[in-house]
Amino acid sequence: MPTPTGPIPMSRSKSSQRWLKEHFSDPFVKKAQSEGMRSRAAYKLEELLQRDRLLKPNMVVVDLGAAPGGWSQQVRRQLGDSGRVLALDILEMPPLAGVEFLHGDFREETVLSQFEAMLGGQPVDLVLSDMAPNKSGMDAVDQPRMMHLAELAMDFADNHLKPGGAFLIKLFQGVGFDDYVREMRRRYEKVVIRKPEASRKRSPEVYALGQGKRPQIK
């Protein structure tokens, strides 16, 4: 059995060092630091918003799983002073000018009710979800957790997104992915899968975009 100074900690240490080296040499990390963005993920969203022309003035945008705030920051930057950006996360998020944030777990009815009160009955034009579970490193555990969060986000969009609205969500490719996309096609006129440049190539993440929410599920 390895001792605390044996090969397992050494292996983890080398892996951590590799990740840190890759992270700080990442051009999108450097860009985020130089432009004052909260995360490199902001550039994934920037590409998706521009490619599919998802934002228009005065839109109401909901960002699920918003912390640390890169996506909300990007939306507010592109919307300027118009519209509303409402963000929700189980993690705390430092304030962002022009972003309304609720700290809580939207799986809880009380939190969802608070969030609906913030909306004040306004129809939502765009729902974003960059949510992901804390990774265990085991696909058999991580993938079901990811799909559960994705299903919750879809339910939220079903209940709050206006007809004609759009839904953009991060998914991991794996068990349940094809079924989920099939369900999106029942709900939206157009569904596409995107892999933005800022998404690391080795990552199983992709982004599913549903546009033109149908008045009724097919």
Same-domain pairing of 119 and 18? no
Same-domain pairing of 13 and 80? no
Prediction pTM value: 0.84
Domain coverage including residue 7: 1-36
Same-domain pairing of 24 and 91? no
The candidate with the shortest Cα–Cα distance to 199, out of 28, 21, 25, 19, is 28
Residue with tokens 């879809």, as numbered in its chain: 154
**Which DSSP state fits 123?**
P
Same-domain pairing of 178 and 207? yes
Q: Does 125 show up as a binding residue in the annotation? A: no
Q: Is 87 exposed, middle or buried (0-12, 13-18, 19+ CB in 10 A)?
A: buried
CATH number at residue 97: 3.40.50.150
Q: Does 105 show up as a binding residue in the annotation? A: yes
Instruction: Confirm whether 29 is domain-assigned.
Output: yes
Residue with tokens 């033109």, as numbered in its chain: 212
Instruction: Confirm whether 207 is domain-assigned.
Output: yes
Same-domain pairing of 30 and 47? no
Six-digit token string for 130: 């960059």
Same-domain pairing of 27 and 102? no
Residues whose CB falls within 8 Å of the CB of residue 174, separated by 6 or more in sequence, listed in order = 139, 143, 146, 204
Task: Using alpha carbons, list the distances in angstroms from residue 136 to 75, 141, 211.
Answer: 30, 7, 32
Residues 80-137 have pLDDT tens digits of 999 999 999 999 999 999 999 999 998 899 999 999 999 999 999 999 999 987 776 7
* Cβ atoms of 187 and 213 closer than 8 Å: yes
Element (H, E) at 60: strand 60-64
Q: Does 19 show up as a binding residue in the annotation? A: no
Instruction: Confirm whether 45 is domain-assigned.
Output: yes
Instruction: Confirm whether 193 is domain-assigned.
Output: yes
Which residues on neighbouring strands pair with residue 103, listed in sequence order?
89
Same-domain pairing of 93 and 192? yes
Same-domain pairing of 100 and 153? yes
Q: How far apart are CA 153 and CA 176, in angstroms?
A: 15
Instruction: Confirm whether 218 is domain-assigned.
Output: no
Domain count, the chain: 2
Catalytic position from the list 170, 190, 195, 213:
170
Asked about 218 being catalytic, the answer comes back as: no
Same-domain pairing of 6 and 61? no
Same-domain pairing of 59 and 116? yes
Q: Does 178 show up as a binding residue in the annotation? A: no
Same-domain pairing of 136 and 203? yes
Same-domain pairing of 69 and 44? yes
Residues 194-215 have pLDDT tens digits of 999 988 777 889 999 999 999 9
Say whether 155 sits in a helix, a strand or coil: helix
Residues 133-157 have pLDDT tens digits of 777 677 777 888 999 999 999 999 9
